[in-house]
Structure 1
Amino acid sequence: MTTRYVHGYSAPETRRLGDQADTLAALLHADTVYPPGSRVLEVGCGVGAQTGHLLAGSPGADLTSVDVSAESLSVARARFGEQVTWRQADLFTLPFPDNSFDHLFVCFVLEHLADPTAALRALHRVLRPGGTLTVIEGDHGSAYFHPHSEPARRTVDCLVHLQPGDALIGRRLHPLLTAAGYRDVTVTPRVVYADDSRPDLVEGFTRNTFVAMIEAVRADALAAGLATDTEWDEGIAALRRTAEPGGTFNYTFFKATARNP
């Protein structure tokens, strides 16, 4: 089962994913550490934006990374070479025997799927009994900012509408994992807050990650009739002001861990 990646596969999108991963590495990955020799599967690795941080945090682990896109895998392989075992595969039909992995890592994948519960259930097969699953997702409804602007909010909502899956999925990770049959489910919010005192976050997250993500769906939003040219330009200008002096931006990611029965 495949789905359309709303952000596309352009070079700017590859840069955006890298900026996001590097800016948020400490927030999202500091407590992700796998023992030497453990078998780890990264599901939906894309261009490898998160892969480098998995390698850095668990250098002794045996990492396999899969993605449905051959183009994205080519980019990831060019970056990390033979440090990782690469496979092109759909997560619903993974080409591995039962109980192949000790740990699964799934980051920014479920939000793009029509049936995330079915995806989580499909992953049971390749995870050994008692093995761990880590899931990280965002929630675009958690974005709030100063100066407040309804045009900016409506522009963000365009992406929420366009996303084939659920752009608000972060808030429901616990019920999703529970419904999919995992145990010992724990979810923690990971909050990003950027203002003038945190210029690295303003640049790396507000401007280069979030605003860039919204800007990239302009053509799709206009084609879908979600905004006029004037409305879009007004909303983007207001969103950009949150990354200028005096602006602030807040967003919440959610990180879940669970065990296979």
Structure 2
Amino acid sequence: METRTIPRTVIRPGYVHGYSEQESRRLGDQADTLAGLLHGGTAYPAGSRVLDVGCGVGAQTAHLVAAGPRAHIVGVDVSGHSLAQAGARLPGVTWCRADLFALPFADASFDHLFVCFVLEHLRAPRLALSGLRRVLRPGGTITVIEGDHGSAFFHPHSAYARAAIDCQVQLQSAAGGDALIGRRLQPLLTEAGYADVEVRPRTVYADGTRPALTEGFTRNTFVAMIESIRDEALAAGLITAPDLDRGLADLRRTAEDGGTFHYTFFKARAIRGDD
């Protein structure tokens, strides 16, 4: 088995997972399966102003609304296609198309910011966090959730499955992101000027006794994500087709009887102190 380093000229910058209907379904499966794990402890009071940064199709926004139905939630994303899906899903939310590096909101417009699975796709995540402080009022909170593909381990062990995951990590890196960013949240938020930064792991463990997690996360979220980059990984020359297909088969095996799968998300909370 051989893996190669990807030439950075091969991959275009942007959202490495794409905007297909399949990806929209995967995002929905992920949000619904992990709602309790990721959103536990996050609820916004009535009347508070909340900005969901990089909201995409609104998969996570739906759970913000459920936890804080009387909060005023604004979802912002660069993709008009994603926002159209989000608007159809949640007509009561205010949607705005904008680049998070040039948000069209006044200073201190929001009481709370929610940033989920966004920083991993950015070339300058610390700069993004610094810029977001402008629209957050002093004393307001920011919640950031990111994954870390280095935290994935599974049974039966497979070097081919590990290589398949590494293909996704390399593709995301070549697109300007970082699939290992979860471990960096504390220093990123601190360097961006936030105070009282607290980061806690949120771990997913799935085996045969947890069929909902095995189906919703292992199969429909994580393995589906790695399967989706097959053509791109082969086009970039990262791995041979037989080795990648074996890796994908071995990943699917972790969701079958006798298999196990572990992954850690990192959830951070911080405040904007007085400048």
2:237 partner SS: coil
Give me the whole-angstrom Cα distance separating, in 2, the residues matched to 1:115 and 1:63: 25
Tell me if 1:253 matches 2:262: no
1:157 partner SS: helix
2:138 partner SS: strand
- The alignment's TM-score, normalised by the length of structure 1, stands at 0.98
1:99 partner SS: coil
Q: Which residue of 2 aligns with 1:135?
A: 144
Give me the whole-angstrom Cα distance separating, in 2, the residues matched to 1:87 and 1:254: 27
Q: Which residue of 2 aligns with 1:20?
A: 30
Tell me if 1:171 matches 2:183: yes
Alignment of 1:105-116 (within 5 A): 105-116=114-125
Give me the whole-angstrom Cα distance separating, in 2, the residues matched to 1:86 and 1:3: 24
Query: What is the RMSD of the two structures over their aligned residues, measured on CA atoms?
Result: 0.9
1:60 partner SS: coil
Give me the whole-angstrom Cα distance separating, in 1, the residues matched to 2:201 and 2:78: 28
Q: CA deviation at 1:106?
A: 0.2
Q: Which residue of 2 aligns with 1:241?
A: 253
Q: CA deviation at 1:3?
A: 4.5
Are 1:3 and 1:113, in contact at CA under 8 Å, matched by a contact in 2? no
Q: Which residue of 1 aligns with 2:7?
A: none
Structure 2: give runs of 5+ residues left out of the alignment. Answer: 1-11
Tell me if 1:33 matches 2:48: no
**1:5-53 CA distance string (max 9 Å, x none):** 1000000100000000000000000211111000000000000110110
Amino acid at match of 2:149: H
**1:66-93 CA distance string (max 9 Å, x none):** 0000000000001111x11100000000
Count residues with an aligned counterpart. 259
Alignment of 1:197-208 (within 5 A): 197-208=209-220
Give me the whole-angstrom Cα distance separating, in 2, the residues matched to 1:235 and 1:34: 42
1:171 partner SS: helix
Of residues 147, 156, 160, the one that matches 2:156 is 147
Give me the whole-angstrom Cα distance separating, in 2, the residues matched to 1:94 and 1:194: 39
Q: Which residue of 1 aligns with 2:223?
A: 211
Superposition misfits of 4+ residues, deviation over 3 angstroms: none
Amino acid at match of 1:55: V
Tell me if 1:122 matches 2:131: yes
Give me the whole-angstrom Cα distance separating, in 1, the residues matched to 2:141 and 2:70: 17
**1:231-257 CA distance string (max 9 Å, x none):** 111110111100010000000000000
Give me the whole-angstrom Cα distance separating, in 1, the residues matched to 2:262 and 2:81: 32
Alignment of 1:215-234 (within 5 A): 215-234=227-246
Give me the whole-angstrom Cα distance separating, in 2, the residues matched to 1:229 and 1:3: 24
2:139 partner SS: strand
1:237 partner SS: helix
Structure 1: give runs of 5+ residues left out of the alignment. Answer: none
- The alignment's TM-score, normalised by the length of structure 2, stands at 0.93
